[in-house]
């Protein structure tokens, strides 16, 4: 019996696949392999004969073309890739996830596992589109994992539908499931040449109808402070408290350049992990700007702050490291307008009013586009990623399945026009 996208999502959501910062292994956590290996088995069961997992954990498979005329006809249509990531964010627990499927009646949603956690209608305008429809929430104690297990479920269900109806013509379609996207390493070892797609699409967005061809350009900043510890009872004139240095740095960060005070195309500097003790403390920050040149401005801001704080703590040693994360996909997607044109048309055929919305974040597609594989992003129906109030529109997930199925057909039409 054919499975729905919801059936699949509920199965995947219960598998803990949380990734981990600064791991020595790839994938960063072995538990991601549980879902990755399951997906190989499910792809094989669907009939994709080359489904496999490599030693990095990347899962790939091919849905062969069903175009009349065999290889000659398929060769005229670009190979299209569909990509989603299995890992969930380290920002909230992904263990013992208990998805709650409800028919949304309007208003706020109080979650049963922790009634202090409330999905507020005032903060979630997309809820209004789901009155009388099914949504999936967490129980309030973990994240849900719609980012990006909804994307996996959508791709798997689209493959099932394309296999079930030979009248839905398509060229060769490559499937790719990746680990470690949430910790910025989703494409670290991804072999674009071996993947073999000419264009690709990540299914990793949110609101139905919203499509993404722009992401932030991103760097990470790591400030390490070396202090000196000694028993507090005899610390006068001797202790150098690295935590106080970090505090003086944080308080000087520009308040009008923070995630909580910005929107749209506005950049931000976001301190997101602070750890340590008196002798050694570390502050990790996300630097984000749609214009990559703005990242240099943010680096200069941090260096000015460090220069201001250093004289306040002359015996502390403050180090700044900048690491490149990914770059805006926009310029790379302009090289072949068909990539975005086909997505726009497919979304319209799914019954939606498409709109291009910049992502205030990044996807695997950011790095893949930079490396030469144009990869815009498709919505999933999920919202509030990385937190306890994450939720998923079942209708939005089904609309994404229809979009993906139409996308395969539009590429056939576009290539034979």
pLDDT of residue 364: 94
Identify whether the C-beta of residue 90 lies closer than 8 Å to the C-beta of residue 19: yes
| Catalytic annotation, pick one of 16, 42, 87, 180 | 87
Q: Among residues 148, 172, 181, 206, which one is catalytic?
A: 181
The answer to whether residue 341 is catalytic is: no
- For the chain, the average pLDDT equals 96
Q: What single-letter DSSP state applies at residue 359?
A: B
Q: What's the pTM value of the predicted model, to 2 decimals?
A: 0.91
Tens digit of pLDDT for each residue in 263-291? Answer: 999 999 999 999 999 999 999 999 999 99
pLDDT tops 90 at residue 237: yes
Is residue 181 among the annotated active site residues?
A: yes
**205 within 8 A of 307, measured Cβ to Cβ:** no
Best CA proximity match to 59, nearest among 186, 201, 206, 170: 186
Handedness of CA 251, 255, 260, 265 (dihedral sign): negative
Q: What is the pLDDT of residue 250?
A: 98
pLDDT tens digits along 40-49? 999 999 999 9
Q: Report the CATH number of the 217-325 domain.
A: 3.30.70.360
* Integer Cα distance of 316 and 309 in angstroms: 10
pLDDT tens across 62-102, in order?
999 999 987 767 789 999 999 999 999 999 999 999 999 99
pLDDT digits (tens, 9 = 90+) for 243-262: 999 999 999 999 999 999 99
CATH 3.30.70.360 residue ranges of the chain are: 217-325
pLDDT at 31: 98
CATH class of the domain whose range is 5-214+328-416 = alpha beta
Q: How far apart are CA 308 and CA 251, in angstroms?
A: 12
**Chain region(s) in the chain for CATH 3.40.630.10:** 5-214+328-416
User: Please, are residues 309 and 318 in contact by the beta-carbon 8 Å criterion?
Assistant: yes
């Amino acid at each position: 019996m054919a499975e729905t996208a919801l059936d699949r999502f509920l199965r995947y959501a219960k598998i803990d696949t949380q990734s981990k910062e600064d791991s020595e292994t790839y994938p960063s956590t072995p538990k991601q392999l549980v879902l990755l290996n399951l997906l190989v088995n499910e792809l094989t069961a669907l009939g994709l004969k080359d489904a496999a997992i490599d030693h990095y954990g990347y899962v790939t498979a091919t849905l062969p073309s069903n175009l009349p005329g065999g290889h000659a006809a398929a060769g005229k249509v670009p190979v299209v890739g569909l990509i989603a990531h299995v890992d969930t964010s380290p920002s909230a627990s992904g263990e013992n996830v208990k998805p709650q499927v409800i028919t949304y009646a309007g208003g706020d949603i109080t979650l049963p596992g922790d009634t202090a956690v409330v999905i507020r209608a005032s903060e979630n305008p997309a809820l209004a589109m789901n009155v009388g429809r099914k949504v999936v929430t967490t129980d309030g104690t973990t994240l849900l994992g719609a980012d990006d297990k909804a994307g996996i479920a959508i791709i798997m269900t689209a493959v099932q539908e394309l296999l079930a109806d030979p009248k839905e013509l398509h060229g060769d379609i490559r499937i790719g499931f990746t680990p470690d996207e949430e910790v910025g390493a989703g494409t670290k070892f991804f072999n674009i040449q071996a993947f073999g797609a000419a264009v690709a699409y990540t299914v990793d967005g949110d609101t139905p109808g919203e499509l993404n061809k722009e992401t932030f350009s991103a760097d990470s900043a790591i400030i390490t402070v070396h202090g000196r510890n000694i028993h507090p009872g005899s610390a006068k004139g001797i202790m150098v408290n690295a935590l106080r240095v970090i505090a003086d740095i944080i308080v000087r960060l520009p308040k009008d350049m923070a995630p909580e005070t910005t929107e749209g195309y506005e950049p931000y500097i976001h301190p997101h992990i602070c750890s340590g003790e008196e002798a050694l403390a570390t502050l990790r920050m996300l630097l984000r700007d749609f214009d990559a040149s703005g990242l240099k401005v943010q680096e200069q801001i941090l260096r000015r702050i460090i220069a201001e704080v250093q004289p306040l703590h002359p015996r502390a040693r403050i180090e700044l490291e900048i690491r490149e994360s990914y770059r805006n996909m926009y310029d790379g997607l302009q090289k072949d307008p068909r990539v975005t044109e086909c997505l726009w048309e497919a979304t319209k055929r799914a019954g939606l009013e498409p709109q291009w919305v910049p992502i205030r974040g990044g996807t695997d597609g950011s790095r893949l586009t930079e490396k030469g594989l144009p990869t815009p992003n498709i919505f999933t129906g999920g919202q509030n990623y990385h937190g306890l109030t994450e939720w998923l529109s079942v209708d939005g997930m089904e609309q994404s399945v229809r979009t993906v199925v139409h996308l395969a057909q539009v590429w056939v039409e576009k290539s034979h026009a």
